């Protein structure tokens, strides 16, 4: 039987990426996950795991060169990410470069390889880059992360512009605070939680499914006229400041 739906998901082993894998498997997609950690979905029949560092660009390109592409829809979710919390005067160049290698360069390498393979095989598809509200505004002690997420939004527009003529759409999602292992320390800190709740204008906490559902929309035909955009999923974090 020919493959109808395929999704490639980086950062597939934790948090938002793990939720993406669950959502695309439930929607009947064959999923290839990429992450440096093992996956809880490893024994699922429709799941293939590539355990690797996504900054290995030769190996990352190889995943897209070797893959089988589907007839109805192919999806790439660039979700792997890392961030520093570090004063700007203490931020080393090597940490800055590491954050950019994971968040920006790997998204570029995977995004271009995916789009090129779709063009080569004449297959339909589209990509979503997981940016952040940190791609829309500054934040103390996160200079590399904030700069890298602004770059992810720029990369999204550029890939959308370059591959639009091939009917390939590329969009970004900018999540606010979502409960995952990355943000788990916030949830044990009442002062931090108060700050988060004051910073949002909806009295609701963000969950990984909020981001997975947005990706399902952006990668579906319902979003056929949407490209180069950034969908903000943040409970109102970026709409204004509490005076």
Ligand X SMILES: NC(=O)c1ccc[n+]([C@@H]2O[C@H](COP(=O)([O-])OP(=O)(O)OC[C@H]3O[C@@H](n4cnc5c(N)ncnc54)[C@H](O)[C@@H]3O)[C@@H](O)[C@H]2O)c1
Quickly count: other Cβ atoms within 10 Å of residue 241's Cβ: 7
From 29-37, 88-96, 196-204, 213-221, give the range in contact with ligand X by CB under 6 A: 29-37
36 forms part of the interface with ligand X (CB under 6 A): yes
215 forms part of the interface with ligand X (CB under 6 A): no
Q: Which of 80, 118 has the CB closer to ligand X?
A: 80
Q: Report the C-alpha gap between 232 and 149 in whole angstroms.
A: 13
Q: Find the binder of ligand X among 171, 180, 200, 219 (CB under 6 A).
A: 180
**Residues in 101-130 that interact with ligand X by CB under 6 A:** 102, 130
61 forms part of the interface with ligand X (CB under 6 A): no
From 74-82, 108-116, 195-203, 222-230, give the range in contact with ligand X by CB under 6 A: 74-82
Q: Report the C-alpha gap between 50 and 59 in whole angstroms.
A: 10
Active-site position among 24, 29, 47, 145: 145
Q: Report the C-alpha gap between 48 and 139 in whole angstroms.
A: 37
17 forms part of the interface with ligand X (CB under 6 A): yes
CB of 65 to ligand X, least distance (A): 18
Judge whether 69 counts as a catalytic residue. Answer: no
Give the pair of three-digit tokens for residue 125. 């598809």
SS3 assignment, position 30: strand
DSSP string, 112-175: HHHHHHHHHHT--EEEEEE--GGGTS--TT-HHHHHHHHHHHHHHHHHHHHHGGGT-EEEEEEE
**Residues in 139-178 that interact with ligand X by CB under 6 A:** 175, 177-178
Backbone angles phi, psi at 119, to 5 degrees: -65, -45
Q: Which of 16, 30 has the CB closer to ligand X?
A: 16
Active site residues: 145
């Amino acid at each position: 039987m020919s493959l109808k739906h395929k999704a490639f998901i980086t950062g597939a082993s934790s948090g938002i990426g793990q939720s993406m894998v669950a959502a695309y498997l439930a929607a009947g997609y064959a999923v290839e996950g990429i992450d440096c950690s093992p996956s809880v979905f490893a024994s699922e029949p429709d799941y293939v795991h590539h355990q690797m560092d996504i900054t290995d660009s030769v190996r990352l390109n190889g995943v897209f060169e070797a893959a089988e592409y589907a007839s109805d829809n192919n999806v790439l979710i660039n979700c792997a990410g890392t961030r520093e919390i570090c004063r700007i005067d203490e931020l080393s160049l090597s940490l800055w470069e590491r954050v950019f290698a994971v968040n920006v360069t790997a998204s570029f390498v995977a995004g271009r390889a995916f789009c090129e393979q779709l063009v080569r095989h004449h297959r339909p598809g589209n990509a979503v880059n997981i940016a952040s509200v940190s791609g829309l505004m500054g934040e103390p002690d996160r200079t590399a992360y904030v700069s890298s997420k602004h770059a992810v939004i720029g990369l999204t527009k550029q890939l959308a512009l370059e591959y639009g003529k091939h009917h390939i759409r590329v969009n970004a999602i900018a999540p606010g605070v979502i409960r995952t292992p990355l943000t788990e320390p916030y949830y044990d800190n009442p002062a931090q939680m108060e700050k988060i709740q004051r910073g949002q204008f909806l009295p609701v906490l963000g969950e990984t499914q909020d981001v997975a559902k947005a990706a399902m929309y952006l990668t579906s035909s319902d979003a056929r006229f949407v490209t180069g955009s950034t969908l903000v999923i943040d409970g109102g974090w970026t709409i204004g400041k509490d005076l």
